[in-house]
Chains A and B, each alone.
Chain A
Amino acid sequence: MASLITCPHCGVRPREEFSVRGDATPVRPLPNASDEAWHAYVYLRDNPRGQIREHWYHEAGCRRWLVVERNNVTHEVVSVTDAASKTAGGAL
């Protein structure tokens, strides 16, 4: 369930301690990228059913940005990693 998140720094914590930024898959384009690339980054989403990666911020804990990998149909959390770590797959 997405009611409890296992923060890699703080352990198991309730969902209320976190704020959610959104989809972690879009990659910020270069500043001089085309308008189309920026439009896609800011506005378009794959919005898949199933396993997703999302940016969560541990606001009431370690204040780290995390990548929460979870299933948006079953609400099962698969993994939680620090967004800055290489396994999380990239920076904000």
Chain B
Amino acid sequence: MSLMRYSALQIVKQAFAANRGWKPVWREPEPKPHYDVVIVGGGGHGLSTAYYLAKEFGITNVAVLEKGYFGSGNAGRNTTIIRSNYLLEGNEPFYEFSLKLWEGLEQDFNYNAMVSQRGVIDLYHSDGQRDAYARRGNAMKMHGVEAELLDRDAVKALLPYLNYNHARFPILGGLLQRRGGTARHDAVVWGYARGADSRGVDLIQNCEVTGVRRDETGQVTGVETTRGFIGCDRLALATAGNSSHVGRMAGLELPLESHVLQAFVSEAIKPAIDHVITYGASGHFYISQSDKGGLVFGADIDGYSSYAQRGNLAMVEHAMEEGVSLIPGLSRLRVLRSWGGVMDMSMDGSPIIDKTHIPNLYLNCGWCYGGFKATPASGLCFAHLIAKDEPHYVARAYRLDRFQRGLAIDEGGKGPQPNLQ
């Protein structure tokens, strides 16, 4: 299928043709009886996997199966933050690889994903937290990633609207990653979908997988779906939030628990917050401003097992309290929308991109609430694993058996408690 290139010239050209020349962004094919690779899950990760499988590894006889519509799950339920300010060896190179892909993404897939490197500032509120952030910044530098430790005055110059007179949680400074920022989540999904489709990948929406068919040797032969049986040589699961549910169909028991995470958008206001700010004094809170003007913010997961895409008022109140404690002016705003997404909370807060005990079944799961920023690298590394049957070098640590082998990647030092990650 020929791809219409998007450009300023194209807009002018189409304008002169009364905008009648625009084509659908992707096809709506009927599922074929058999594919080389079937990817379950049409979120950011599944679609980016399909895109890189086709573009980087030349595997185009691929289908992406999505139970709803693309971006209806967590791809459309996040706070759109991109960053690579991690501490641990297993994480930092992966997330930096992802940030580098973000930096070239729009040119790469010819779609405006509104990647905005406005800077991410993690605030610290105690001497101990300052030392921990200095250590994290140094760990980033050891991996060739810039990081700046800001003192109180430097933070005040950048973010004058914060509450600097808080007696209980004083703002002492922050760790700044200038290359971090935000991207438009829907556009990321659409860009990857368009890029995959134009290379021959079949994108199939409203197609829920209801079973995994295996032969007598245990190999996967295909999936039962609401649109009939679809055969495949290799099956790839990218269904974070519901990984245990889909994994069970193939006989997997996973180190995951599903939890709901809420996020909120305020009414639109003039440009006020031109960074991503995170606050770690009394829980966890993060805020940025979308290009439409709404303040986008969120806090921790609700803390109990949930598959409901809606949360509890206790966490709503907690998030608002944190926000107003950090930015008193927030109390004047109205919240326009809130939503919940179902997270795969893993036992160490880190994801899994690995093979399974079934030779042709591949697994991508456990993104906790950090999956959005990982979308490009997750797709590329998962595609690498599926195409070459060996892990990409930046994703080697994300093994399924790491808990059994004592190699957990516990970024937050929380232990095997999924609701605390």
- Footprint of B on A, CB under 8 Å? 1-3, 14-16, 19-20, 22-23, 35-36, 39-40, 42-49, 52, 54, 56, 72-75
Contact = CB atoms under 8 A, between A and B. Distances in A.
Given A44-B254, A49-B307, 15 more contacts: A3-B313, A16-B314, A22-B257, A22-B418, A22-B419, A42-B403, A44-B253, A45-B257, A46-B244, A47-B254, A47-B256, A49-B245, A54-B305, A72-B304, A72-B306
Nearest to A14: B314
A45 B255 contact: yes
Interface string B378-421: 00000000000000000000000001100000000000111100
Interface in B214-266: 242, 244-245, 253-258
Given A43-B403, A44-B253, A45-B255, A75 B308 contact: yes
Interface string B288-320: 000000000000000111111000111000000
A52 B313 contact: no
Given A39-B403, A42-B416, A49-B245, A73 B314 contact: no
27 contacts: A14-B314, A19-B303, A22-B305, A22-B417, A22-B418, A39-B403, A40-B253, A42-B347, A43-B255, A43-B347, A43-B403, A43-B416, A44-B255, A45-B254, A45-B255, A45-B257, A45-B418, A46-B244, A46-B253, A47-B244, A47-B254, A47-B257, A49-B245, A54-B305, A72-B305, A72-B307, A75-B306
Across the A-B interface, give the 6 residue pairs with the lowest CB-CB distance, nearest first: A47-B244, A43-B403, A43-B255, A20-B304, A72-B305, A39-B404
Most central of B242, B305, B418 by chain A CB within 10 Å: B305
Interface residues of B, number: 25
A2 B304 contact: yes
Interface of B: 242, 244-245, 253-258, 303-308, 312-314, 347, 403-404, 416-419
Contacts of A47: 244-245, 254, 256-258, 305
A31 B385 CA distance: 38
A15 B258 contact: no
A15 B316 CA distance: 12
